[in-house]
Amino acid sequence: MNLLLAGLSHKTAPVEVREQLALPEEALPAALGTLASQPGVAEAFILSTCNRVELAVRAEPDADAAAALAGFLAAHEKFAALQADQYLYRYPQRQAVRHLFRVAASLDSMIVGEPQILGQVKQAYAAAKAVGALGGTLEDVLNRSFHVAKRVRSETGIGQMAVSVSYVAVELARKIFGTLASHTVLIIGSGKMSELAARHLRRSGAAAVFVANRTFDRGVEMAARFEGRAVPFEQLFDYLAHVDIVISSTGAPGFVITRERVQSLMAARRHRPMFLIDIAVPRDIDPGVHKIDNVFLYDIDDLEQVADANRRERAREADRAEAIVEAEVDRMMARLKAHDITPTIVSLQAQLERLRRSEIERARGKLGTLTPEQEQAIEALTRGIVNKIAHTPITQLKSLATHPDGLHLIDIVRRVFNLKDPS
């Protein structure tokens, strides 16, 4: 196996460099063709997103993978112009496998755990497959990376916690109400952030969104953007008695919603829980409201705090994910090693040599004393037989090594000649 990966990502290269080097989808097949046609390259894979460009190749056993990659990069005009070599990381063999696994599992992403990257890797895989640039160990590694990504997703909570403030609002609403299906939202005032949160809530299944704005027409305008309904500001408290989630962001100088007001609403609500989000500065909702049973008030700092806690939780989960990746890399490497032809050829030769020697030892007693010439003749004869037997399997192994069927052939040879797995 002769794997090499070179790439740059948000961790090593500034966005100005990344955007220059990113390959548009339509340019990908040509680039894959160029990379795959470099001397000694058996398989090629290119992943290009806005956050990273990764080039991976598997070279023939005795070819120079680094030279092949350098050849590809030299042919790339922008790369030379940007002096992009300084941003490049290079990972050989095991490190390349680990890097591909980590990328697919979203451990190397800007927002760790974001789910898009796996889809992007799969697309890149399909593109490489389509131009015939895959078909061997590298393809095996990529296939395994999908499995690793799935395992990480299902065995850790890495993608589950909201890390942006507006998603945190949705997550909290879910933690309070369970399903949002029968719950309604009231937006007081206007603002980008409340609109965003309302959109997320609506998409997560909230039954209805009402908008109360002091200027009714502005409310109508805003409500139209997410299938909400504008209500007169004067009826604010009638609606407060019924809605479950309130997002407030008015420009009012004092509290729009006081503790006494909410307290008196609770009996009418039959103590159904209420989730209030105050994103106004100065605040719209009396902080004392949070002390009422079944009422949960979060301001923008609180949401930020939850997002922070979620990020820490994600980091903890990422540690567990790294352990999974490490174990998967070990397994992959063990498999690749077993499938590698060189150790197979070596152990095949060793096995045959052992057989030859033990047979000569057994025959020696019956042959009596031999002259050095006779000794040499037996040596030459047995060696000749063994080499003839080994010749076809070895040439077949060598020629099929680059072919996906090579893996099966290795298995067959190991079984037929009873070779032990290299440890």
Partner 1 sequence: MAETSVFWLRVTLALYSLGLAHALLTVIRRRQRLFSAALAAFAVAAVFHLVSIVEEGLAAGRFPVSNLHQSSSLIGFLITALFLAIYWRYKYESLAVFIFPIVFLFTLVASLGHPVEPWSSPVARSSWLLVHVVLALLGYAALFLTCVAGVMYLIQERELKSRKPRAFYHRLPPLGALDELGYRTLAVGFVFITLGLVEGSLWAFWEWGTRWIVDQKIVLAFVTWGIYLALIFTRWTLGWRGRKAAYLAIAGFCCAALTWMVNSGAHSFVKR
Interaction of residue 241 with partner 1, rule CB under 8 A: no
* Residue number with CB closer to partner 1 (49 or 156): 156
Q: Which of 10, 151, 218, 269 binds partner 1 (CB under 8 A)?
A: 269
Going by C-alpha positions, the residue among 318, 341, 333, 328 that lies closest to residue 402 is 341
Q: Which of 147, 272, 364, 391 binds partner 1 (CB under 8 A)?
A: 272
Annotated active-site residue 60? The verdict is no
| Chain Cα centroid distance, residue 232 | 47
Cα 319 to Cα 101: distance, rounded to the nearest angstrom = 14
For 12, 173, 352, 382, 404, the CA distances from 385, given in Å and listed in that order, are 57, 78, 10, 5, 30
Q: Reduced to 3 states, what is the DSSP secondary structure of residue 52?
A: strand
Smallest separation (angstroms) from partner 1 to the CB of 306: 6
- Asked whether the beta carbons of 135 and 403 are under 8 A apart, the reply is yes
Cα 108 to Cα 149: distance, rounded to the nearest angstrom = 12
Interaction of residue 294 with partner 1, rule CB under 8 A: yes
Q: What is the DSSP string of 91-131?
A: EEHHHHHHHHHHHHTTSSSSSTT-SHHHHHHHHHHHHHHHT
Per-residue interface string for the shown chain with partner 1, residues 45-84, x marking contact by CB under 8 A: ----------------------------------------
* Residue number with CB closer to partner 1 (180 or 419): 180
- Which structure tokens are listed for 18? 């990344």
Smallest separation (angstroms) from partner 1 to the CB of 265: 12
Q: Reduced to 3 states, what is the DSSP secondary structure of residue 186?
A: strand
Residue 71 buriedness (CB in 10 A; 0-12 / 13-18 / 19+): middle
Per-residue interface string for the shown chain with partner 1, residues 301-330, x marking contact by CB under 8 A: -x--xx--xx--x-----------------
Interaction of residue 179 with partner 1, rule CB under 8 A: yes
Angle CA(91)–CA(94)–CA(100) in degrees, nearest 5? 65
Q: Which of 11, 147, 150, 175 binds partner 1 (CB under 8 A)?
A: 175
Where does residue 23 fall: left (phi above 0), alpha (psi -120 to 50 degrees), or beta otherwise? beta
Q: Which of 107, 172, 230, 265 binds partner 1 (CB under 8 A)?
A: 172
Q: Which of 28, 152, 161, 169 binds partner 1 (CB under 8 A)?
A: 161
- 76: phi then psi, degrees, rounded to nearest 5: -90, 115
Interaction of residue 264 with partner 1, rule CB under 8 A: no
Of 15, 27, 50, 363, the catalytic one is 50
Smallest separation (angstroms) from partner 1 to the CB of 202: 18
Per CB under 8 A, which region of 220-228, 290-298, 378-386, 393-401 contacts partner 1?
290-298
Can you state the angle between helices 137-155 and 300-339, rounded to 10 degrees?
Answer: 140
Per CB under 8 A, which region of 8-16, 92-100, 204-212, 263-271 contacts partner 1?
263-271
Smallest separation (angstroms) from partner 1 to the CB of 279: 15
* Residue number with CB closer to partner 1 (215 or 294): 294
Q: Footprint of partner 1 on this chain (CB under 8 A)?
A: 157, 160-161, 172, 174-179, 267, 269-273, 290, 293-294, 296, 298, 302, 305-306, 309-310, 313
Catalytic residue IDs: 50
